[in-house]
Chains A and B, each alone.
Chain A
Amino acid sequence: MKMKRFNPSAVNNKSQRRAIMRYSPIFLMPTAIAFCIGFVWPFIWGIYLSFFRFKTLGNTSFVGLENFIKAFSDESFLSSFGFTVAFTAVSVILINVIAFSIALVLTKGIKGSNIFRTVFFMPNLIGGIVLGYLWKIILDAVIMRFLNSTLALNATYGFWGLIMLVCWQQIGYMMIIYIAGLQNVPYEYVEAAKIDGANGWQLLRRITIPAVMPSITICTFLSLTNGFKLFDQNLALTGGKPFKETEMLALNIYKSFYESTTNMGVGQAKAVIFFVIVVIIALAQLYLTGRKEAK
């Protein structure tokens, strides 16, 4: 049987290939075994458990789709879904528009571009938990002084606090990707358009944006999944307060596992639903932007 090689670097020489394969216990097995422990088995087991009712693993009973029905009729789950969608929509637009604008300016060759780039990227290195508490302290102080409230008391403040936080964290990252994309815009196109008398807006609309479409794909995709999967920042900044109103999907799932005493199967069912949503987003996004790029 002859297989189509998926890469030109594969070894075709039989004896050499066999010599490499003899080393598979050293080369492949450690990663493969760890991958099974750390991903494959938990994943399969997770899907399996979503059809069972259980409090402890010693006592499980098959309930079919009951967990999923319960998950969909759980109001906190639905409201966390709504919150996540709203949050993701706002954050994707803000992050990408601002990051792209900054990248546009920083590729114009103004003085200090490198320093600005360094500064904007910096928050990206700070972990979600530390980041969350850093902002919590500052935002609480501001809100207390001017609005006489706190993040934990008002869901609107919690929402915009989270938006500010992820913008601060992710704009620099997306900006770097946009800068890399903008630097690859062919200069001849820009020149030709200028000679043809294109104004700044036309240049951006007709030349620059189509040319950086791949970067836009990557950044929208990243900020979209980041928004949907957000957990650490949510936990640290608001913890879902007040009354679960600022709880996002990931946190809601976490709480239905570790703060419920009734049936952990519902938590697992929610996790499966969450997984399916994330996969659908990823596929839809790739499909849509892939089509745009082809044009």
Chain B
Amino acid sequence: METSLSRRDRTGRAFLTGIFSLISAAWVLPVIIVLYNSFKDNDAIKTSLFSLPNADSFVGLENFTAGIFHGNYPFYFSVLYSIIITVLSVALILICTSMAAWYISRVDSIFCRIFYYLCIFSMVVPFQMVMFTLSKTADKLALDTPFTIPIIYLGFGAGLAVFLFTGFVKGIPNDIEEAATIDGCNTLQTFFLVVAPIMKSTYISVGILEIMWVWNDYLLPYLVLDKTEYRTIPIHIQYLQGSYGQVDYGATMALIIMCLLPIITVYFICQKHIIKGVLSGAVKG
């Protein structure tokens, strides 16, 4: 755009870069503090949270092993269940809602429209509105295990996913599908061989949005799952914090770091997709 920057502009820019480097450093500081504290012993954490670990207070990976077996529920179980629930739910949501969205936009009957507007409506409804009745319904239908809770996620998360998929599918002209039908594809083949590949980027965006929702969700699994057997990571963290009189700070720090590291790693690897996916959810208003 601007080819020749005046000297004042250039120093101004360098100044801004400096300021923003400082702000960025401050922005990640909370995570850094917890990170180095996860290598300190309990007393050192309590008395001086902000000092770096030294020879006295450094305990190596002790906090991490303590964190894994902290409480009467091993951390890796909650990781396992979080992964199972997230993978199954997101897969189910992506497959089912994309098919439904395509059907809605192609058939466009009165029933389809009602369903579509209900989906939009459901996006506004706060979870507390259905919290109690939803957990009772799930109980009654025996949907309270990590392998069945994806159905609940499909139901409650359908609104946004159907809305986003429909928005995209409406933009695909159906000439291509007509051609596929003439070439002998049945409806299923048309969808999976012709339509689904076109929607690839929408799948990625919606998928990221749903992964972030399900992975971080606390209240829904807390109310629906049988908590003595199945806990997700957020439930596990909440249990440790909520119920313990004597808090093991070191173990807590280590647990928080174990929760954060995978998320931050994945974020830095595919941040472009993540930012795009999250943005696509923002336009729903």
Interface of A with B (CB < 8 Å)?
Answer: 3, 5-11, 13, 16-17, 19-24, 26-28, 30-32, 34-43, 45-46, 49, 57, 105-106, 108-112, 115-116, 118-130, 133-135, 137-138, 141, 168, 173, 176-177, 180, 187, 217-218, 221-222, 228-229, 231-232, 235-236, 239, 249-250, 253-254, 257, 264, 267-268, 271-272, 274-275, 278-279, 282, 286
Contacts and interface: CB of A to CB of B under 8 A. Distances in A.
Contact of B141 (A37, A133, A137, A239): A37
B50 A141 contact: yes
A40 B115 CA distance: 10
B172 interface: yes
B31 A35 contact: no
A129 B237 contact: yes
Interface string B8-21: 00000110110011
Q: Closest 9 CB pairs between A and B? A: A38-B155, A127-B216, A34-B155, A42-B130, A31-B100, A141-B49, A10-B108, A42-B133, A27-B103
B66 interface: no
A71 to B, nearest CB: 13
Interface residues of B, number: 104
A13 B218 CA distance: 47
B206 interface: no
The B contact surface, by secondary structure, is: helix
B134 A38 contact: yes
Given A42-B134, A116-B24, A133 B252 contact: yes
Contact of B17 (A110, A231, A235, A253): A110
Contacts of B273: none
B131 A257 contact: yes
B187 to A, nearest CB: 5
Contacts of B203: none
B118 interface: yes
Interface string B194-220: 000000000000000000100111110
B28 A122 contact: yes
A120 B27 contact: yes
Contacts of A35: 115, 118-119, 122, 154-155, 158-159
Interface in B35-93: 49-50
B184 interface: no
Contacts of B282: 173, 177, 218, 222
- Most chain B beta carbons < 10 A, residue from A121, A122, A279: A122
B132 A46 contact: yes
Interface in B226-268: 233-234, 237-238, 241-242, 249, 252-253, 256, 259-260, 263-264, 267-268
